[in-house]
Structure 1
Amino acid sequence: MTIPDTMTAIAIAEPGGPEVLRPEERPVPRPRAGEVLIRVAAAGVNRPDVLQRSGSYAPPPGASDLPGLEVAGEVAALGEGAARFRVGDRVCALVPGGGYAPYVATPEPQALPIPGGLSMVEAAGLPENHFTVWVNVFGHGALKPGETLLVHGGTSGIGTTAIQLGKAFGATVLATAGSPAKCEAVRALGADRAIDYRAEDFVEAVRDATGGRGADVILDMVGGSYVERNYRAAAESGRIVQIAFLGGAKAEVNFSLLMTKRLVHTGSTLRPRTVEEKGAIARALEEKVWPLVAAGRVRVLVDRVFSLAEAADAHRWMERGDHVGKIVLRVEG
């Protein structure tokens, strides 16, 4: 496989709106020790990309300043000591940055074989969502079979993944969404109860669906006014896991419920974790989740596909909030 010296990537010219995403000539990265170089066929678009573009989510030290946290493609080269994959292998990967490009380097432990017969576009939507849901719902949230999981933002990439994995591992799943059509979409994915948050109070809906008991685990990307409402919607000894603050990072909360219901409110970010931590998550996914994906029991719901040159349009579509599932960039050349 011939590797060029330069490539046309999508860079962030300056913090701002989608229009600041512009093509730029960059050197093709060379894999360092323990890394693989991937010739990218498709890249997932995620909310952290939008935050990075706007200037509110800087990449960690040593990471590429290009956006893009997940890709699918073929292994193009191996860094010293990288031995699991061979050149030409089809892989998807969680990358530290740089996914909006024809080539990206990533630590080998963060790359996974593409399960089953998934296309490159589908595979590009696997890593970020599955890493995030696995570590937060099943790790920090400790969801068990027979428990109830409440997923906020049920039609997002994270939400569609959490619904499917919750059901696959034996939970009752409730999900919020913002319209009747979106509620129908989450029911089609297996949610036991879809809650239109614009038309009904999710706290009362959760209580009704659980016979007054509440949800054992709540996956929340909203924050803001949802914080105290999550406390009211949670079951005794419930676990609320915070993964974003789309509704604001500040809230006025009566913490007495935290004590009287013995709640745990925790949260995490994925990008700053060490390679070792991400590698451990990858191994768990390959063992426990990839067989479900290969069997078709868990699927990647792709909403829209844009070309790499249309990255700004992809960001505009994400910010509209009308998508159901993943937004993916197809990388050509």
Structure 2
Amino acid sequence: MSNDAGATMKAILMREPGTADVLYYGDAPRPVAGPGEVLIRVHATSVNRPDIVQREGNYPPPPGESDILGLEVAGVVEAVAPDVRDWRPGDRVMTLVGGGGYAEYARARADLLMRIPEGMDFETAACVCETYITAYLNVFMVGGLRDGDTALLHGGGGGVNTAALLLCRALAPRARLIVTASPGKEDRLKVLGAHHVIDYRATPDFAAEVKTITNKKGADVILDHIGARYLAPNMNSLAAGGRLVIIGVMSGIKAELNLALMMVKRQQIIGSVLRSRPAPEKAAIVREFSERALPGIADGRATPIVEKVFPLAQAAQAHAWMEAGGIFGKIVLSVRPT
């Protein structure tokens, strides 16, 4: 198939912002690869928490990006723009996209593409880009985790948290890993590399537990997506010179902060997002991720965990499944070629 405009494709569309039942399987214009881009025949994509936030009307795509949901895809290059030299039709690729992943075709920047490792299926590859790059960026590049440090990772069995655990095990095998999670996940998290699992329902003051585990030192890096409600306990859990990296605000955006204590302890609070970063910055992140982290995924040390696979047409059910909670790993949408 060519890169010509005018063709249609199947995609997941929205009637309006709202609950999962606003999603439906319908026809949409097939995208065209512009300068520096490729067109990908999507074989699989995944469901990420930002997809739900966007579906609810609270996370619009960056200017110029598709308003179709979906932040990562795995598939085969269908067509390339004339100025693209390193990729050709037939290449098996996985990549971040600014939007448009829930569809049979997606356009992507050529400088964000990664080759799917030999032997990896499309469903597994569809789990790599959004959560693994998010975890690598924020734990290692932003948070500066070093081998031997202590990390506190919130998120239990979610995609970013399981990716962070596996990447820490592969890249910082001597790091001490503390995880907060809901009941019933302790054994699985320890298999992935967690040394201590705190049941946040039974132990709402996780800071006291972190202090006990670390002999009062605290964590060097904290990865948090909860936001306001966790700010105070996170700061109490943070070691002197530690870094709190906030990647989500599920519990709200405003909280009080003891600035004097933060200054005395030389602590840092860093806000971080991936989707809205400038394209050259994202390309640099992908290059470093490909060089440092992808080998550990390719050789099996940090293989993504696929919780459940839905057909693309059942995206609404996949969203409902994620929102029900209790998942462990990633939810994938399979887009079988027709």
1:259 is the counterpart of 2:263: yes
Within 5 Å, which residues of 2 pair with 1:318-329? 318-329=322-333
CA contact (8 A) 1:35 1:80 kept: no
| 2-structure distance, mates of 1:257, 1:163 | 29
SS at match of 2:333: strand
1:116-155 CA distance string (max 9 Å, x none): 3211000000000122112211111111111011100031
- 2:74 corresponds to which of 72, 76, 81: 72
Q: Does 1:185 find its partner at 2:163?
A: no
Shift of 1:72: 0.3
**Of the candidates 150, 153, 162, which is equivalent to residue 152 of structure 2?**
150
- 1:210 deviates by 1.1
TM-score by length of 2: 0.95
* DSSP 3-state at the match of 2:185: helix
Map residues 8-87 of structure 1 onto 2, 5 A cutoff: 8-87=10-89
In the alignment, the residues of structure 2 paired with residue 253 and residue 265 of structure 1 have an alpha-carbon distance, to the nearest angstrom, of 11
TM-score (norm 1): 0.97
Take 2:232 and 2:283, find their aligned partners in 1: how far apart are those partners?
34
Q: Which moved more, 1:46-55 or 1:191-200?
A: 191-200
Residues 37-66 of structure 1: CA deviation (Å, up to 9, x unaligned):
100000011011101100000111100010
Structure 1 residues 235-274: Cα deviation after superposition (integer angstroms, max 9, x where no partner): 1000000000111112233333212211000111111112
Distance 2:159 2:235 in 1: 24
Where 1:26 maps in the other structure, the secondary structure is: strand
Q: Once superposed, what is the RMSD of the aligned Cα atoms?
A: 1.3
Within the candidate set 112, 115, 129, 2:114 is matched to 112
1:90, distance to aligned residue in structure 2 (A): 0.6
Equivalences for residues 132-281 of structure 1 within 5 A: 132-170=134-172, 171-179=175-183, 181-200=184-203, 201-281=205-285
Give the length in aligned residue pairs: 332
SS in 2 for 1:225: helix
User: How many Å apart are 1:177 and its aligned residue?
Assistant: 0.5
- Poorly superposed stretches of 4+, deviation over 6 Å: none
Check the 8 A contact 1:34/1:82 in 2, yes or no: yes
- Distance in 1 separating the partners of 2:76 and 2:118: 15
Query: Is the 8 Å Cα contact of residues 92 and 124 (structure 1) preserved in structure 2?
Result: yes
Q: How does 1:86-105 map to 2 (within 5 A)?
A: 86-105=88-107
**Identity over aligned pairs, percent:** 46
Structure 2: how far apart are the matches of 1:2 and 1:237? 54
Write the letter of the residue equivalent to 2:201.
R
Distance (whole Å) between structure 2 residues aligned to residue 116 and residue 324 of structure 1: 25
Gaps of 5+ in 1: none
User: Conserved in 1, the CA contact under 8 Å of 2:136 and 2:293?
Assistant: no
Distance 1:299 1:46 in 2: 17
2:152, 2:8 → 1: CA distance? 46
Indicate if the aligned counterparts of 1:93 and 1:110 stay in contact, CA closer than 8 A.
Answer: yes
Please, which runs of 5 or more residues in structure 2 have no aligned partner?
A: none
Three-state SS of the structure 2 residue aligned to 1:59 is coil
- Kindly provide the amino acid, as one letter, of the partner of residue 58 in structure 1: P
Q: Is the 8 A contact 2:171 2:293 kept in 1?
A: no
Q: Output the amino acid matched with 1:316.
A: A
Name the counterpart of 2:311. 307
Secondary structure at the aligned position of 2:53 is classed as helix
